Amino acid sequence: MTKQFVRLALAAVTLAGAPVILSPSVFAQAVSVNGGAISGTITDPSGAVVGGATISISNTETGFKRDLTTDKSGFYQIGPLNPGKYALTVTAPGFETTTVQTVVRTGTATNGNYKLNIGQSSTEISVSAGEVQINTDQGGVSDVITKQQIDTLPINGRNFLDLAQIEPGVILQSGESFDPTKAGYSAISVGGVSGRTTRILLDGQDITDETVGTTIFNVSAGAINEFQLNRSTQDVSGELTSTGQVLVSTNSGTNQFHGQAFYQFQDHRALFARAQNGFDAPFQRNQFGGSIGGPIIKDKLFFFANAERIKQDSSAVASLGTLFTAISATHPTIPTPYRETYSTVRLDYNGPWGAHFFVRANYNVNSVASNYGDGYWLYANRDNTPGLAAGADFTSGGGKFTHSFRGSYEKFHNLISDSSTNPSLYNGIPGLSFYYSTQHLYSGPNYLAPQGTFQSDKQLRYDGSWTKSSHNIRYGYSLNRILGGGFASFFGLSPRVRIASSSLLANCNGVAGAAACPSDPLHGYSASGIVLGNGQGYFTEKGGFGLPGGGVFDWRNGAYVQDSWKVTPNFTLNAGVRWTLDTQRANQDLTLPTCADVDTSTFSGALNPCSGLAGNTPLPQLWNSSWTAKNTHQPYGNFAPQISMVYQLPDKKTVLRVGYGLFYEGDVMNNTTNARTTLIKTGAFNNTASICPYYGGSSVQFPDGSTVSSINGVSITNLCNQPLATAAPNIQALQAAYQASTKQNSTSTNSTYLGETLTANGGSGTTGGPYGTAFRSPYSQQWNAGVQREIVKGGVLSADYIHNSTIKIAQWVDQNHIGAARYLNATAARNAIAATAASYTACAAAATTAAQADCAIANGATLDDFAGNGLDSGSQYLSGYAAAAAGKTPNTGAAFAGANPLLGNGNFLVPIGRSGYDALQVVFRQVAQHPLPGIMSSNLQISYNLSRIVSSYGGATNSDQFFAAGSWDYDNPNQYMGRNSLDRKHQINFGGSMTLKYGPRIGLIGHFYSAAPTTLSLDSSDSTGGIFTTDLTGDGSIADLAPGTLPGDYMRRIGPKGLAGYVNNFNSTYAGTLTPAGKALVNAGILTQAQLTRMGATIQPLAAAASTVALPQPTTRSLDASFSYPIRLAKLREGISLEPEIDFYNLGNFANFSSTAMSGVLLNQTSAGAVNTTTGYLTGPNNYATLNANRIQRGSGTYNVGAARTTEFKLKLNF
């Protein structure tokens, strides 16, 4: 409450006090997400302001012209202006006329401070401000990628988001890395945060995918005029994001007809390097299209049109681990054809009274076959996205007021279908999906299909400003009506079976005396885990897009106001506040289930935790007594203040800047829907059931209420121990029965409903459940301080320190703390031991718990046997359910059933997560004519980023902090702050081009990054009894962080040479000792340490590393180059040229390797033997074969970062 009060107070001071405290008058730069501006102060040689000076601004290409006068403080401003080149002429009585050739950039306030010379106005002085200028007005950190860079940099595939790759702190991602619907798209990670939440605006239109993130449609690079990336303390007019924001402007027509036609060609037989394992994977891409723009009515009405087509026939190498080389030899490639067509049409009109109007339409259709990184699990993805945007810009009040209106509509339509029947794919057991993750083997139907995702966004936006004297007030309001919808029948086509080293059979195909056959996935392994899908596909009860379910509805409101005060011509102070409201993203429209909704046929009498409570008591209150609200909290007070200062030194070449701002983050709709189904009583919702040791289940709860523990006479326990080929028919039959029960009971109570299970899990079996009632929007506090200096003509060096501290991130934490060592039910523990002994006839006479335990152990009982009778966490023994939901009582249920054994787990999303990013970013940019002998012109950008990002959210490879993240420790969720997988200590990016004296043009893009970190964790192969072997903190979660480490410690505090030593030290320090759960049993007098040791209920020794030096995580190295030769065809027409070009992507064919393929799980000796010889793990073999299996290859669509060298041939006709 105190923090909120301080924030509101600061906002109030910013709004109310700034105009009074700062000055009696107001200045503003009319810059927003819709364009750029020019603003400045006119002075005489002594520095005194010149009021009444006439300013004339014109753009001869479009006929734009506007005249205005400086006020008494010598100040003027004009905007928003379309990006481009402008001539600015200043005249005043008694002074020489000054004409400046300057440039306006997207989202940037161009410096308009000029000093007049005393003399006759008939004397004219011409000045060129240069293509690259210091920013004297804005305190944030951003850069603009110009049209020249877009046209000359070697961008593989011409994807517009790939333009950001030369910026510091940016890592390009394949959109498919966080959702299958984004196959064929790129994403931009800014500041160590996934590109899922980077906000993207096109001509002021928000084109961010609200369902899963990144862009909702692709845009041709040929349609782009400029591209601005905000990296810290973005402008107050920016949209909802706590990380980076992209502002893109499209091309407009001019008074001259200009355009380009192009054709680009790639083929694996033409100067490609061979891919993984030296394989020459078939690949051919034909990319062609063009653009044209010009006048319809000179100086008034202009058009621009762009269309582009990609036809790509390609295959990816099947990158299997060394165990399955025979499979990869017979099925070496995975077909990944890709088609994309995108088009843009725009009209611009210079209307009366200086008004400017535009309308833009776009259409994008994308079709691609991909696998989400999962081998032979192929699916087909198709997207259709139309969009329409329009805008108007004008001034009033003699130029003191500016107005900018935007309106737009866009719709996204996605469909995914399975493609596993393609004959070139390995399909080990038709109709059964199975995988071995560390060996990269994935076979059978894709578990993500079928699905469809739909989204529409209707947007209205207004931005305005008011200028008076040396102050300017900027203000604006935006409104978005966002609709989401669709279906996703995850695991609907087939069960998904997990095999692993822990499920390797001692005898191939179960034949007594036969040796193990680890290279045969069908006969050499049993099922480590099985996930069954219920065949349904909706995640909400609301209809949408013509479907009976799956609808999500949101109103987003945004408003801002900022005061920019030109304290002196050299010092600018900006202060403002932004307010944001995003509705229903945490399901605030739902009234939460109450005690009256509890199924009393299951939870009756003493087994009902609501006994004695009012019927209207919200069920979440059972898990957290402070959650008394009837609905999840809707934040209405998201006010975000910001302030910045910019000071230009007297030399006019150096600027000092500092900024601070608070920036709220949104919540993707996938989070909304995953958290909703538990709260809805009835509906055709997608749901799953999990069985076998990895998940800890030996029975399935069917929708008709029955508990199924066998199929066709085979118990689920035996099913999990049979060879996969033997078990497959019954696994498929079990899913068929599960789906049949679901279909027959489709209108009955939702089997995952909170009142039905008293268990809080998410949709489709996701661990993260509903939002806790005390929901808060995540937000970041961003600080930046730096300097800009023009060190050579047209060359600016920037150095900035950036800090981004994000808090209130939603992490799921079990509010019931099931499995926590402090919540031991001694009676349940004794009953579990007695039940285990009872399964041995020799133990019939054992009368005490100690005698029963000794007898059972003597007859071969292990931890799995005791845990299978309840000596375990409720998360494993009861699959997280309450005892009554599993047909048991607390005393016959799990020994460690949590704080309230009448409840299941309480995996609510609570706003407790945090992250922190710190960076030193240095950028040098130069645009020059004749910079060196023999070079006619050049543009260059070089950036260096020294950074680190730490975060609290759980997950061995998690860099996706805004996607329902887990926690490493339920008792202290923020205890372990460590590096995420996007952390790169050092990054060097550069890009540029130069035209040589006799015509050739050379373009370069390069990236050199230090290695990514990896999290080290304990063995998760068998969750049964995991609280006794891998829960070292006693919080109830298993597969803990390796003790003494933090997330991301490998390649940071522990290197390749230190990992083997760490394993040895662990074995001498921890192995054989008791976890807190084991100590609880000893302290209660139930079992002794010796008994626990004999049954294997102690921390297990780790398998020794196979090498004294582990495989290091790889660095990233890439150099792209283009060579072109423009041929002028002036005899045909002035400005016509034919430009042949050849591009090399990864020119040096640097070998790059996946930073997440090698698992940081430290296998124990039960799973891997005394020495870990299992490939795919950091402690496994360190050899070429293991390394090469992780070599990066082409991604979906045109994404190709880090892959083997490819070559592209281009031909352009420019006119």
CA distance 696 to 690: 8
Reading the block at residue 607, the tokens are: 């087994």
Secondary structure of residue 761 in the 3-state scheme: coil
Give the chain's length: 1215
Higher pLDDT, residue 1071 or 956: 1071
pLDDT digits (tens, 9 = 90+) for 572-616: 999 999 999 999 999 999 999 999 999 999 999 999 999 999 999
Peptide bond into 495 cis (omega under 30): no
Average pLDDT for residues 722-728, to the nearest whole number? 97
**Which run of H or E residues covers position 803?**
strand 795-814
- Note the pLDDT tens digit of each residue in 605-657: 999 999 999 999 999 999 999 999 999 999 999 999 999 999 999 998 999 99
The residue written with tokens 């029948």 in the block is 489
pLDDT of residue 28: 33
What is the C-alpha separation between 424 and 336, in angstroms, rounded? 11
In this predicted model, which residue has the larger pLDDT, 1058 or 745? 1058
Half-sphere exposure (Cβ direction) of 303: Cα atoms closer than 13 Å: 8
Q: How many CB atoms lie under 10 A from the CB of residue 946? A: 17
Determine how β-strand 301-317 pairs with β-strand 245-250: unpaired
| pTM given for the model | 0.89
CA distance 293 to 225: 12
pLDDT of residue 1140: 98
**Of 696-705, 889-898, 995-1004, 1120-1129, which range is least confident?**
696-705
Q: For residue 278, what pLDDT is reported?
A: 79
Q: Does the structure show a pLDDT above 90 at 23?
A: no
- Angstrom CA distances, 1072 to 277, 873, 1106, stand at 42, 20, 22
* pLDDT exceeds cutoff 90 at 860: yes
Q: Residue 233 pLDDT more than 50?
A: yes
Encode pLDDT of 1006-1062 as tens digits.
999 999 999 999 998 888 999 999 999 999 999 999 999 999 999 999 999 999 999
Q: What is the pLDDT of residue 957?
A: 56
Q: How many CA atoms lie within 13 A of 479 on its CB side?
A: 3
Q: What is the mean pLDDT of residues 314-337?
A: 92
Taking the C-alpha atoms of residue 740 and residue 722, their distance in angstroms, rounded to an integer, is 25
Rounded CA gap, 1002 and 361, in Å?
A: 34
pLDDT at 133: 86
pLDDT of 469 higher than 90: no
pLDDT above 80: residue 35:
no
Is the previous residue joined to 332 through a cis bond, with omega within 30 degrees of 0? no
Residue 244 has pLDDT above 60, yes or no: yes
Given a cut of 70, is residue 33 above it in pLDDT?
A: no
> Which spans in 552-688 are helix H?
620-623, 669-674
What percentage of the chain's residues is helix, strand, coil (to nearest 5)? 15, 40, 45
Please say if the pLDDT value at position 16 is more than 80.
no
C-alpha distances in Å from residue 586, one per residue of 5, 632, 762: 23, 7, 13
Got the DSSP string for 86-131? Answer: EEEEEE-TTB-EEEEEEEE-TT-EEE--EEPPBS-TTSEEEEE--S
CB 451 within 8 A of CB 533: no
pLDDT tens profile 789-803: 999 988 999 999 999
Complete domains list, the chain, with CATH: 31-129 (2.60.40.1120), 591-630 (no CATH), 826-905+1016-1049+1057-1109+1155-1188 (no CATH)
Q: Give the bridge partners for 90, in sequence order.
A: 55, 98
Lowest mean pLDDT among 103-112, 163-172, 217-226, 1099-1108: 103-112
| Cβ proximity of 82 and 106 under 8 Å | no
Q: Is the distance from CB of 840 to CB of 856 less than 8 angstroms?
A: yes
Percent of the chain residues topping a pLDDT of 70:
96
- Percent of the chain's residues with pLDDT above 90: 74
DSSP reduced 3-state for 270: coil
DSSP 8-state assignment for residue 659: E
The three-state secondary structure class of 301 is strand
Residue 754 phi/psi, 5-degree rounding, is -60, -40
Average confidence score pLDDT of the chain: 91
Q: What is the pLDDT of residues 661-681, one digit of tens each?
A: 999 999 999 999 999 999 999
What is the reported pLDDT for 7? Answer: 44
Hey, how many other C-beta atoms are within 10 angstroms of the C-beta on 1167? 23
pLDDT of 766 reads 54
pLDDT of residue 1: 42
Flag whether pLDDT at 26 surpasses 60: no
φ, ψ for residue 1047 (rounded to 5)? -55, 135
Instruction: pLDDT band for 955, please (50, 70, 90 cuts).
Output: low
Q: Residue 245's closest CA among 204, 210, 275, 201?
A: 201
Strand-pairing partners, residue 803, are: 783, 918
Lowest pLDDT segment from 764-768, 827-831, 1144-1148: 764-768
Q: How far apart are CA 827 and CA 496, in angstroms?
A: 37
CB neighbour burial string for 795-818, b if at least 16 within 10 angstroms, e if fewer:
bbbbebbbbbebbbbbbbbbbbbb
Cβ neighbours, 10 Å, residue 183? 30
Query: Nearest-CA neighbor of 450 among 484, 425, 420?
Result: 420
Structure tokens, 1173: 């010889």
Band (pLDDT 50/70/90 cuts) for residue 762 is low
User: Residue 18: what pLDDT?
Assistant: 35
At 418 the pLDDT is: 94
Question: What are the DSSP calls for 303-342, one per residue?
Answer: EEEEEEEEEEEEEEE----GGGHHHHHHS-EEE--EEEEE
Q: 926 — phi, psi (to 5°)?
A: -150, 135
Query: Over the stretch 871-911, which tens digit does the pLDDT of each residue have?
Result: 999 999 998 999 999 889 999 999 999 999 999 999 999 99
- Confidence band of 958 (pLDDT split at 50, 70, 90): low
Summarised one tens digit per residue, pLDDT across range 367-423 is: 999 998 889 999 999 999 999 999 999 988 877 899 999 999 999 999 999 999 999
Say if residues 221 and 150 touch (Cβ distance below 8 Å).
Answer: yes
Tell me what the mean pLDDT of segment 510-519 comes to: 94
Residue 120, pLDDT score: 83
Bin 1036: left if φ > 0, else alpha if -120 < ψ < 50, else beta.
left
d(CA 546, CA 486): 9
What integer pLDDT is reported at residue 956 of this predicted model?
Answer: 52
Mean pLDDT is lowest, of 25-29, 169-173, 806-810, 1183-1187, for 25-29
Residue with the larger pLDDT of the pair 988 and 78: 988
**pLDDT, tens digit, 9 for 90 and up, residues 929-949:** 999 999 999 999 999 999 999
